[in-house]
């Protein structure tokens, strides 16, 4: 089975289809934010992603390679009554920003939160632990969109 890997707009919904068994849909009128982020994983792996959310505790993402940029962003902007313009195309390191709503355009979307080390063994206590327990959290400004 060949992967589809398409981000499209169908019937007032954003639809991402990685393949017929792996897809998500999101009602455009329920979108609270759209963001983008880049990593240093490229060029051998996807390194630029778009993020969409309608609830504070779950968001959906799609890689940039799934997007027909000219058509998708124009169509989505028309439905949201504003211009949507991704801007991290030249980034080769970790970067992130909000691209919708316009009131937060360009502001940071995520914070990288590192959990406090919790060494369990004698050796971890002596030499430290190489646990890399990091996760992403929405910034306070973005969290305010859900109140």
Q: What is the pTM of this model?
A: 0.83
| pLDDT at site 111 | 92
Q: Which long-range contacts (CB under 8 A, 24 or more apart) does 89-94 make?
A: 89/48, 89/64, 91/38, 91/48, 92/38, 92/40, 92/42, 92/47, 93/38, 93/39, 93/40, 94/37, 94/38, 94/39, 94/40
For 1-46, write each residue's pLDDT tens digit: 456 789 999 999 999 998 878 889 999 999 999 999 998 887 777 8
| pLDDT at site 19 | 82
């Amino acid at each position: 089975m060949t992967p589809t890997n398409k981000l499209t707009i169908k019937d007032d919904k954003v639809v991402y289809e990685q393949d017929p068994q792996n897809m998500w849909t999101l009602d455009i009128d329920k979108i609270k934010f759209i963001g983008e982020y880049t990593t240093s994983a490229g060029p051998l792996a996807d390194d630029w992603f778009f993020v969409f959310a309608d609830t504070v505790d779950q968001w959906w993402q799609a890689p940039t390679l799934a997007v027909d940029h000219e058509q998708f962003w124009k169509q989505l902007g028309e439905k949201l009554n504003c211009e949507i313009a991704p801007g991290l195309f030249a980034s080769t390191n970790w970067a992130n920003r909000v691209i919708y709503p316009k009131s937060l355009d360009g502001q940071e979307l995520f914070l990288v939160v590192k959990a406090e080390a919790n060494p369990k063994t004698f050796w971890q206590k002596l030499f430290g632990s190489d646990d890399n327990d990091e996760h992403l959290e929405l910034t306070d400004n973005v969290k305010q969109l859900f109140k």
